[in-house]
Structure 1
Amino acid sequence: MDITIALYSHDSVGLGHSRRNRALAYALAEQLPALTGGSVGGLLIAGHPDASRDPLPEGWDWLVLPGMTRTRAGYGARRLGMEADALRDLRSATIDAALAALQPDLFIADRHPFGIDGELRPVLANLRARGTATVLGLREVLDTPRVAAAEWDALGGAEHVASHLDAVWVYGDRNVYDPRLTGELPPALARLATLTGYLSHGRPAGRPSNPELMSPKPPPPYVLTVLGGGSDGAELARLAASASLPEGHRHLLITGPQMPAEDIAEIREVAARTSDATTVVRSASDVPELIAEAAAVVCMGGYNTMAEVMATDTPALVVPRTRRRQEQPRRAHALAAVGAVETCDPEFLRAEELSAWWARSVTGRTDRSHLDLDGLGLVPRLAAELLPAAVTGAAVTAAAALRTTGPAAVHTAGPTAVPAHSEVSRHVG
C-alpha cells in the first residue's frame, strides 16, 4: 500500500465508535486514491468482538483487542481474568507493536485521545516520533460544558491534549451544534478543529456473517423501532412493543445485539400480547435501508443512529438516553430545533402518546436537505492535507477552502443548553 491508515476505538460500551471508524475507512478507501495518486489500506483497532462482524474495504483489516468495559470502579476486563492496569498495558503494547509494524501515515482516534486509562499515550509518542499524522475524531456533542471541561482537565488539560494532535475532526454540522461555541471544545483544541458535516451520506451497509442476525424486511407499510446496540434500550423497546400501530402497518422492532436476552424475551412477550403485526429481532444487516423505507421511526439519540436517520426523509421521534451522559438529549434537542426530528424525554413518553405520534407521522415525510450530511466526502480531503507525499496542490487547496477559520467566524445557530420537555417536541419541517 502507498498510504496506510490506522483508526482506533476503545469500544467499552456499544459499537458506535468502531462503526463510525468503519464508515471513515470506506470513505478513505474510496476517495483518497484519487486525491493522492496512491493505493490506500489500513487497520481498524477495536475493543469489542462484535466489531469485526462487519466487513471492511479491500486492503483493510480488524485488530480486536481484549475487551474492557465500564465498572463501578472505573474500567475492568470484559472477559479476561486480569487486573485493569495489566489489561490496559497489554492492550497498549499490542497496539504499539501492531503500529510499529504497520508504520501508518495517518492515525485517527475516535473520541478518546489517549484511549482507556491512557493506553494510547506511549503509542502516540511513538507515532509522532515516526512522523505519523495524528487526528482526534469527535462526535458533535460531548456532554455538558462542565462535564467536558472536567474530562479535558483529567487528561492534563486541553493544551496538553492538543500537543499530541495535528487536527481535530468534529463530525457534525456547525449550524446545528458547534462544541467550540458551547464550551465543550476548549480554545487549544478548537484551533485545530474542523466541523466536517454529519457522517450520513455514503455510510456503508453492514453485512453480518451470522445468519441468525439477518432479518427479513417487513412488507410496507411498516413502522420501525431501532435502539442502536441495545444495552440501554429495554425501556423504550417495551414501550414501543405495547403501543398501538397505525392502521394497516406492521412494526419491526430491532432491540440491538447487546440487549440482555432476558429483556428481549420479555419484549417479545409484550409484543405478542399487543399485536401480531410486531416482529422483534436482535439485529439487522441493513438498518439504513430499513430506516429509509419505513413510514416512521422511533429511536434513541446515539450519533450513528441519528446519522443514518438524517440521510433519509423518514419522520423520526428521538427518545434519548438521559442517564450517565447528556450527550443524547443535547443532540436530540439541537436537531429538533432545526426541524430535523421530534423528541421526547423518556420520562414523559407513554404508549398512548407514541401511538398517536405514529398515527400522524406515517402520512408525511421530513425534509432534511438543509443539513450538512456530507462529512464522509470532506474527511478524505482533510486526510489528504495531512499526508506528506503525493498530494496534489488541487486536492490540498480544495480541502483547505472547506476549513473553517475558527469559532469566532462560525455561525452560532444551535443550542448551548438543553431545555427540559414534558411532551413530544414538534419541530418537524
Structure 2
Amino acid sequence: MADLVMDFKTDAAPRKAAAGRYDGARVLIYSHDTFGLGHLRRSRAIANAIVEDGSNASIVIISGSPVIGNFEFGSGVDYIRIPGVTKLPDGDYRSLNLNVDLEEAVGLRQDLILQAVKSFRPDVFIVDKEPTGFRGEVLPALDYLHGSHCRLVLGIRDVMDEPALLVPEWERKDAKEALIRYYDEIWVYGLKDVYQPLAALDLPPHVERRITYTGYLRREMPATPSLTRYPKITRQPFILVTTGGGGDGDDLIDWVISAYEADKALDMPSLILFGPFIDRDKRRSFMERINRQSKLDALSFDNKIELLMQKAEAIVAMGGYNTFCEALSFDKRTLIVPRTRPRLEQYIRAVEAQRLGLVRMLSDYNEPRTPERMAAALRSLSSQPRPSEVVIPGLLDGLDQVQARLMALIEPNHTHVPAFHQAAE
C-alpha cells in the first residue's frame, strides 16, 4: 500500500497561506474512536470551527466510529472510516465488523492511517487523546511526519483519569515518550485552574511549555433543523436525560426511571435519549417501563442533540466531555451522574464542576443508588443556578484558541522547530 505514494517527501515545502489566515491549509485529525461518541464529536466540533469562517482549509477526520456518516460536516471537511473496534464488557477489545482477530484489524487500521498521511500531506496532524493511537497504530504515521514541515499536535480533554491509573497506563503504552519525542504542541481542551490532566506525568519543562489550555469547546446550534420527530413531551418544560453513545448508560437510565416509578409527585417530565450503542434487549426492557409512566418518553438517537438541549429546561447526564461542553454552551441547569467504572474521568470532572458551581452531582460512588435520592435531585433542578451565573474567564474559549494556535502553526512567517529540536533547548 505504501508503494503507491513513495514520491511524496516529508521535507516538502509547506503550502503558503494568506497572511493571518489558514487558507489552503490541510489538517488531518485522528479521532480515537473505540467506544462511544465522545472523540468523534469533539473532532467534528474542531473541524467545523476551522472551516466555518470561510477559509479554504481542507480537513480530513480519520475515525473508526460506525456512526460517523450520521453527522453533518462543514464545507471543507471530510472523513475516512477505518475498520472499527469495540470494547468488550471485560475491558478487552475485538474487531467490530470484520471477521479477523484484533491484531490484524489494528494492522489494517495502521496501514490506512499511514496511507492517508502520505496521500493527504497535512500541514497539521491533530491526534486525539492517545499519543500513540489505539494499540500504537499512529506511530508509523508520526515517524513518517517527524521532522517534516507538518506540525504534530496532541489534543486531550480536560480530564483523562485519576493519576494512580493514568501514570502506569501511559508507561505501559510508551505514551509519555511519544509525547516528548513527537509532538510540537499539546492542546488541553479545558482550563488549568479547573484540572491539569498531565500533571502527574512529571513532564520535562521544555514539554510543559508546549501545553496550551484552550478552554472548553463551545457548541453552536446546527445550521439545519433535525429530521427527528420529537415526542409530545417536548412541547412543555422537560428534562433531557442523555447518556451520550449509550453503551455504558444503563445505570443512569434505570435510576431515572426508578425515580418516576417511586415518586408519582414528580412534576417535570423527562425525555430519555438512549444513544446508538445501547444494548437492544436493555432498550426494550427500558421502553416497557417507560411506556407505563405518563411523564416519561424516549428517543433512540438524535444526531443534532443540540436542538433538544436548547429546548430542554434542564439536563441529566453522565458527565462526559462533550455533554459538559454543551450544557455550558446552552446554559442549562445540569445534574451530572458520573460513571465511576472503569475510569474516574467523569467523576473527577463532576467534582470540579460542582466545586465551581457550574453543575450539581449525584453519585453512587460512596452512597446507595436509591429512587428517592434521584427523585429529590430531579425535583431540585428547577431551582439550581445556571452555569452563566458563575463567571470564569476563558471558560468557553476553546474553539477560538484552537483557531489561533492553528493559525500560528501554519502562518508562513512562523519558524517551525520540530519537537526533537525543542527537547535540546
TM range, smaller chain: 0.7 to 0.9
- Equivalent residues of 1:313, 1:366 under 8 A apart: yes
For residues 191-234 of structure 1, what are the alpha-carbon distances to aligned partners after superposition, in whole Å with 9 as ceiling and x for unaligned?
Answer: 321110011x244639799x6x6545711211111111110111
Residue 24 (structure 1) aligned to one of 46, 54, 66: 46
Instruction: Give the secondary structure class of the aligned counterpart of 1:362.
Output: helix
Change (3 A) 1:317 1:111: same
**For residues 1-150 of structure 1, what are the structure 2 equivalents within 5 Å?**
2-31=24-53, 33=55, 39-71=56-88, 72=90, 74-150=92-168
CA offsets per residue over residues 364-390 of structure 1, 9 Å max, x none? 541334231120111010111111527
Q: Which residue of 2 aligns with 1:423?
A: none
Which of 396, 408, 412 is 1:373 aligned to? 396
Structure 1 pair 207/265, CA: closer, same or farther in 2 (3 Å)? farther
Residue identity opposite 1:219 in structure 2: R
Does the 8 A contact of 1:231 with 1:258 survive in 2? yes
Pick one of 211, 216, 219 that aligns with 2:235: 219
State yes or no: 1:350 paired with 2:367: no
> Letter of the aligned partner of 2:289 in structure 1?
V
Distance in structure 2 (CA, Å) of the matches to 1:355 and 1:265: 23
Match of 2:283 among 253, 257, 264: 264
1:227-283 Cα offsets, whole Å, 9 max, x none, are: 11110111211221232377653321111111111111111111222x223111111
Contact residue 169 and residue 196 of structure 1 kept, 8 A: yes
Superposed displacement of residue 96, structure 1? 1.2
Specify the SS of the correspondent of 2:301. coil
Question: Do the aligned residues in 1 keep the contact of 2:176 with 2:201 (CA within 8 Å)?
Answer: no
Does residue 196 (structure 1) correspond to residue 214 (structure 2)? The answer is yes
Change (3 A) 1:155 1:26: same
Q: C-alpha distance in 2, partners of 1:163/1:214?
A: 50
Aligned to 1:336: 354
Taking structure 1 as the reference length, what is the TM-score of the superposition?
0.83
Structure 1: distance between partners of 2:45 and 2:59: 13
Cα 1:90–1:286 change in 2 (3 A) is closer
Q: Please tell me whether the aligned partners of residues 242 and 270 of structure 1 are also in contact (alpha carbons under 8 angstroms).
A: no
- Say which SS state the counterpart of residue 108 (structure 1) adopts: strand
Instruction: In structure 1, give the amino acid aligned to 2:364.
Output: P
Contact 1:114 1:120 in 2 (8 A): yes
Q: Distance in 2 between matches of 1:321 and 1:338?
A: 20
Q: Which is worse superposed, 43-52 or 342-351? A: 342-351
One-letter identity of the residue aligned with 1:25: A
370-379 vs 150-159, greater mean Cα deviation: 150-159
One-letter code aligned to 1:225? V
Q: Give the counterpart letter for 1:292 in structure 2.
A: Q
Report the Cα offset of residue 287 of structure 1: 2.1
Query: What CA distance in whole angstroms lies between the structure 1 residues aligned with 2:145 and 2:53?
Result: 24
Q: Secondary structure at the match of 1:276?
A: coil
Measure how far apart 1:101 and its partner are.
Answer: 1.3
Deviation per residue, 1:282-310 (Å, 9 max, x gap): 11233223223322221101111111111
Distance 1:179 1:23, change over 3 A: same
Give me the identity figure in percent. Answer: 31
2:409 is aligned with 1:386? yes
Structure 1 residues 214 and 177, CA gap change in structure 2 (3 angstroms): farther
How far does residue 180 in structure 1 lie from its aligned partner after superposition?
A: 4.5
**Aligned mates of 1:315, 1:55 — CA distance in 2:** 27
Q: Does 237-246 or 147-156 show the bigger shift?
A: 237-246
| CA–CA separation in structure 2 for the residues paired with 1:116 and 1:207 | 34
In the TM superposition, what is the alpha-carbon distance from 1:109 to its structure 2 partner?
0.7
Q: Secondary structure at the match of 2:87?
A: strand
Report the residue type matching 1:68 in the other structure. V
Q: 2:26 touches 2:121 (CA, 8 Å); kept in 1?
A: yes
Superposed CA offset, 1:148-186 (max 9, x none): 1112212336244221111000001222212244x2573
CA contact (8 A) 2:335 2:381 kept: no
Does the aligned pair in 2 maintain the 1:313–1:365 contact within 8 Å?
no
Alpha carbons of 1:103 and 1:267: their partners in 2 closer, same or farther (altered >3 Å)?
same
The 3-state SS of whatever aligns with 1:265 is helix
Unpaired stretches in structure 2, ≥5 consecutive residues: 1-22, 417-425
The answer on whether the counterparts of 1:293 and 1:314 sit within 8 Å (CA) in structure 2 is no
Q: Aligned-pair distance for 1:315?
A: 1.6
Evaluate the alpha carbon distance shift between residue 89 and residue 331 of structure 1 in structure 2; reply closer, same or farther with a 3 A threshold: same
After TM superposition, the structure 1 = structure 2 runs for residues 149-164 of structure 1, keeping only pairs within 5 Å, are 149-156=167-174, 158-164=176-182
Query: CA contact under 8 A between 1:149 and 1:184: conserved in structure 2?
Result: yes
| 1:125 Cα deviation after fit | 1.1
- Residue 359 of structure 1: how far off its partner (Å): 2.0
Offset of 1:322 from its aligned partner? 0.7
Quote the residue 1:249 is aligned against: 268
**Partner letter of residue 396 of structure 2?**
L
Deviations 1:48-68 (A, max 9, x none): 120221011112211010011
**Aligned length in residues:** 383
SS at match of 1:317: strand
Q: What runs of 5+ residues in structure 1 fail to find an aligned partner?
A: 34-38, 397-429
